[in-house]
Homo-oligomer: A and B are copies of this chain.
Amino acid sequence: MAQQHLDPTDPTAGPVAGEALAGYLRAQATEFLRALRLHRETGPAASNGTEESVDAARALRRSVRRISGSMHTFRPLLEADWSEGLRPELAWLSGTLSMENAYACRLERLLLALHRLSGAVFPTQTGVAAAVSPAGAAGPPVPPPTDRGNLTVGAAKAGALLERQLTLARTRAHSTALQALGSSRFHAVADKVAVLASEVPLTATATAPTTDLRPLAAAAEERLTDAVTALPLVTAGSPYNAEALIHGLSPDPAPHPQDAPWHQVRLLLRLHRYAREALYGTGGPIDVRLLTAGQALDRHRDASEAAAAAASAARTPRIAPATAYALGVLHADQRHEVEAARFAFQQSWQKQVVST
């Protein structure tokens, strides 16, 4: 706890022993088991998830990401066989569990954008959020039809189309997640995590008194810094650079390779954050700048995927021109959000560099 405020690159800070990693992994494994129990109790099979089951699913994903991320960053300190067996399984689990929530959030984002673009005064923004966000819900479409009275025909039809497509995808993701949670493959993962909760398979090196976690954490930070350096931050920091939409009508089916380096930085930022947690505990003060930068990258990813969903919906056969027009406006709006998120990241990152 005395080390909470230290920086891994601070030369005056003392070494952090391998036991800190073991403690972190044990805590995350315990959190995983707690979330899993809660998830089973609150009825994971029900299609209309309650608030508790949504929380449980979120906690489950959260712990899986942290275990998986720490195993990546501190790989040399963990038993290789165990590590190599578990990591791909955690990646599978993380991917499977995240899809349902991703579709729900994407739909919510797109419907809110459609309402904003229509100039319709939606009762409350949280009203939509509350109606959409339960990740377990494949429930009634939102916003309810009466709320579409304020939309143009095109916007309303575009909303209905996106709702149909993304609700279907979400329902499928829900079934897939349920199947996964009932599979023997999952039970094998859960058993391994249960073992991790009591006994972390550290290597002999890791348990040596001279071991220091800091160089591996510093390497994770360096990978992040290098990736950020490679980003087009000068362009991103110049408002209204119009870069994000530049290939918005490209015949290329994957017109936004420009997004990939940003997605990569998002993952590296997360690994850096988890490494800090392993070293200094989760109870310490939150690094607001890292949080802000991370939120900008989350927004970047969400907007990028929402824009792709709008473009994809526009390729549905036999839609009305007004629907297609609304989807075009929506696509461009979300690409604009992508650009705005890059600007926000650049701003938060600049502050970070200046103040550290």
Contact = CB atoms under 8 A, between A and B. Distances in A.
Given A321-B319, A329-B332, A340 B119 contact: no
Given A240-B339, A322-B324, A336-B242, A252 B119 contact: yes
Interface in A119-166: 119, 150-152, 154-155
B340 A249 contact: no
A247 interface: yes
A185 B242 CA distance: 46
Contacts of A105: none
A251 interface: yes
A320 B255 CA distance: 22
A322 to B, nearest CB: 7
A96 to B, nearest CB: 33
Nearest to A255: B119
A19 interface: no
A148 to B, nearest CB: 11
Contacts of A340: 239-240, 242
B332 A328 contact: yes
A286 interface: no
Contacts of A343: 239-240
Interface in A300-330: 314, 319-330
B329 A152 contact: no
A320 B325 CA distance: 10
